[in-house]
Amino acid sequence: MDLHAPLFSPSLIPSSIDLSIPEGFACRPLQRSDFKHGHLEVLRDLAHVGDITEQQWNERFDDMSKSNGTYFIVVIVDEKSVTEQKIIGTGTLMIEKKFLCSLGKQGHIEDVAIAKDYQGRKLGTLMIEILDKISAQVGSYKTILDCRPEKEGFYLKCGYERRGLEMHHYHGSVAQNHSV
């Protein structure tokens, strides 16, 4: 199995991003080898991840790969890091196929995380821009996300607006205890 196989076609990442990403960083789709490049470590800065083995991670990656056109996980890597292809940012776009809006598609942005040492460099804003543009490219009529109240200002700056209220019904104590 190709360890460098991307989750989706790199051509979906807009070429205009190359102009706005800071020097020394690169943006690409999640790859099957990214367990070893720190994907979960970045997510741990966001929320509870749990103890996941490399085999479990690979099985989840393979499952997502089979769902063509549903999962778009983007990573930002520090090309100058001592660790080859060290992941310092990640974000997920999921595409929901709907009956509404003439069988439209709706993008859902989830799990946007930038490693603490790299925050404050506009990489989070860049990640949202990338995910939003991919959503538009694959035909979504809108892209939505949920956020904590203290993050609302950030997403307003990214062009999002408040609509409605997020509700939760947890299924199990792990998610509830960690407010995932």
Question: Closest by alpha carbon to 123, among 83, 147, 86, 89?
Answer: 89
Q: Is residue 16 very low, low, confident or very high in pLDDT (cuts 50, 70, 90)? A: confident
pTM of the model: 0.91
Residue 120 identity? G
State pLDDT tens for residues 45-81.
999 999 999 999 999 999 999 998 999 999 999 998 8
**Alpha carbon distance 143, 112 (integer Å):** 14
Looking at the predicted structure, is the pLDDT value of residue 180 above 60?
A: no
The model's confidence at residue 172, banded by pLDDT at 50, 70 and 90, is confident
Position 149 scores a pLDDT of: 87
Domains observed in the chain: 10-178 (3.40.630.30)
E strand residue ranges, 98-158: 105-114, 140-145
pLDDT of residue 175: 64
Going from the C-alpha of 145 to that of each of 106, 122, 140, the distances in angstroms are: 11, 19, 14
Q: Has residue 19 got a pLDDT over 90?
A: no
Among candidate residues 135, 144, 179, the one with its CA nearest the CA of residue 165 = 144
